[in-house]
Structure 1
Amino acid sequence: MRSLTLIGLMLFSMLAQAVVYKWVDKDGKVHYSDEPQPNAQIVELKDKTLNQISLPQPKTDIDDVNQAIESIQYQVNITAPNEEETVRDNNGDFEVVATITPELKGQYLMAIKLDGKPIGQPQVGNIFQLKNIDRGQHTLVVDAMTQNGKVFASSPPRKIFLHQATKR
């Protein structure tokens, strides 16, 4: 009994084809139906009709923050050590402090370069602890960057002198 029902349903589904009729009424309105009407024409449907929808990529909060940051002109300044200051430390350790104006509320990173080379990884804070730096003249630059690493402001170069006493 089950097999007969199954075969019957399969035959019925093969015979069932959707036919669409189109006609225009006396008021000029176009109508479509699956039932034949007087003066109706059969609409031929293509076998491979595809509807394609492309959605825009969703924006993330980080994208919005990055766009807001990039739209404003920020300035980074090194507040310590001073220009041409002599830093005295036998271990070659000293602190660099930077500020950004106008004040930035969102998340951003800051990175320091010593003589044009990055020191360490970008960080959230504005205080850098430099360790074991060789004595002599050095140039410092601090970059402010978005979370994706794009620099949006840099400090002017700051020249300093690191002095280390020698033992005799």
Structure 2
Amino acid sequence: MLRITRHICLISLLLGTGSAFVHAQAVAQNQAGSAQNAQAYEEEKKASAATSRPPSSAPPAQPKVYKVVSEDGTVTYTDKPQLNAEPLTFDVKTQNVVTADKVPPPPPPTPKVSKPNYKVVIKSPAPEATIRNNLGEITISAAQTGAPKAPIYRLIFDDAPIASNSSGVFKLSGIHRGAHTYKVELTNNTGKTLASSPVQTLYLHQASALINN
């Protein structure tokens, strides 16, 4: 009876120990699974950060340039590798910089200068005037009404220039009887016409010698 009781206690002890061992093994497996899950999460997090990482600020790789010396001593530079080609190495800071010439500012616009408004009128005789003078003497007077003043007056009598002066008063003599046209122009020192009066007509009458006899 005592032996049976010992076997029963031994079996109970083994069963209890086995249950504890199974429980410990399950706990260990759970902890290992948690550690694996954590490690997988960290790796996934690092992969995600790597894909969203901004592009590197490092300068792009410079293209390779090769120096080729031919038999006649001609030196050629190319980006294609060839036989006996010597690769060249450039400093990363090497840059081709072209300084553009400074463009001068445009000149200021030339201010527009208004042209002088020259004007001249004939003071006497009046248009269509009748003048009686047996000696054929006629006085024509002109004046400027605008500003500035032109330096020279020029009389055009019967379509021909007769005289020029700076006073605008012209005394003529020896003019034949009949109708005559006239105008006065303003000119500069080179003879360029700056202004002109309207053309007018006068009539010169002279007494007949037959009537006086």
| TM-score scaled by length of structure 1 | 0.55
Match among 162, 184, 200 for residue 119 of structure 1: 162
Distance 2:148 2:203 in 1: 31
Runs (4+) off by over 6 Å: none
1:108 maps onto 2:151 in alignment: yes
Q: Name 2:184's counterpart in structure 1.
A: 142
Q: Name 1:157's counterpart in structure 2.
A: 199
Q: Name 1:49's counterpart in structure 2.
A: none
Q: Give the paired residue count.
A: 98
Distance 2:202 2:132 in 1: 11
Q: Name 1:97's counterpart in structure 2.
A: 141
- SS at structure 1 position matched to 2:184: strand
Unaligned runs of 5+ in 2: 1-112
Unaligned runs of 5+ in 1: 1-67
- In the TM superposition, what is the alpha-carbon distance from 1:103 to its structure 2 partner? 4.6
Greater helix proportion? 2
Greater strand proportion? 1
Tell which has more relative contact order, 1 or 2 (C-alpha 8 A, sep 6+).
Answer: 1
Distance 1:155 1:127 in 2: 14
Amino acid corresponding to residue 118 of structure 1 in structure 2: P
1:129 maps onto 2:179 in alignment: no
Distance 1:137 1:160 in 2: 6
